[in-house]
Amino acid sequence: MAVTIGGRRLILAASALAAALGLVSPAAAAPAQPVEYVNLGDSFSAGSGVYPVVPMAVSQCMQSERNFSHIVAQELGYHLTDVSCGGAKTEDFYAPQHPGTRAQLDALTPTTELVTLMIGGNNNNTFGGAMASCIGAMITRPGALDPCRAQYGASLSEPIETQTYPALVKALGDIRAKSPRAQIVIAGYPWLLPASGSCAPQMPIAPGDVPYLRDLQATLNDTVRRAAQETGATFVDMSQVSEGRDGCKPVGERWIEPMLFATQPVPVHPNADGERALAVEVLKAIGAGNAQTG
């Protein structure tokens, strides 16, 4: 509506006038801003290997448009800033990982309301190093039941407690400091291997080393859980829902692609079904967190 006062023409928005007259509340007159949502983390968080990739993302990060954070943002109508990147360690929260990237924590602001992440599997080369070590042990000692366990014992898991755990506590604490209003949701890793049995040939690991590597992953997931508990973050436990969905299962059942005969370019990582499963569990955690704080 337009009125003229003293020769000056004033334009009054109909919604503002209605609010002034008490016809609508000021809150109803202004559209709500979407929730600010930031996703951090490594290749499991980025959905590396699941096509299509985010067009403007740094190519080395292999960030997928179908990773769990994109599904969550679409489902809830949140405004997503996704800085997850394949190969990320907690140290990449503090410095650029590749040319064209930034320190992941730089994406956080005081008004960020939700942060999700998966991190820790690349610290000390936990996943990649353990898989390589166990494949090498099988090659050098063919026919042995558990050559990797025999050769490495507890040495592969010890750095998880002594180095990864404090790094996770620091990272989660620094997220809280940067975004004190945010709900922080950190997911554990879905099972890569079954509890026992042979995975050959798709996972070339000696039968006795399958539970050995499974125990290593259980140690890492428990470390993530404890770090979340210490810092007030929400932990998403993927162990129960991903049972029977490991990389040894056939196409259509598995959420993790195997090392050999994978259907995507990044093996031993979640496929599209795995990322959707992560999204489902993260959505449950977000709902539970909102219920507790509401």
Residues 282, 119: Cα–Cα separation, whole Å: 15
Residues with a catalytic annotation lie at 43, 269
The closest alpha carbon to 148, from 98, 215, 64, belongs to 215
Q: Amino acid identity of 85?
A: C
Q: Are 46 and 62 in contact (CB under 8 A)?
A: yes
Angle 27-33-36 from CA coordinates, rounded to 5°: 140
DSSP string over the chain:
-EEEETTEEEE--HHHHHHHTTSS-HHHHSPPPPPEEEEEESHHHHTTTSSSBPTTS-GGG--BTTSHHHHHHHHHT-EEEE---TT--GGGGTS-SSTT---GGGG--TT--EEEEE--SSGGGHHHHHHHHHHHHHHHSTT-SSHHHHHHGGGGTHHIIIIIHHHHHHHHHHHHHH-TT-EEEEEPPPPSS-SSS--TTTS---TTHHHHHHHHHHHHHHHHHHHHHHHTPEEE--TTTTTT-STTSPTTT-SB--SSS-SSSS-SSB-HHHHHHHHHHHHHHHHHHHHHH-
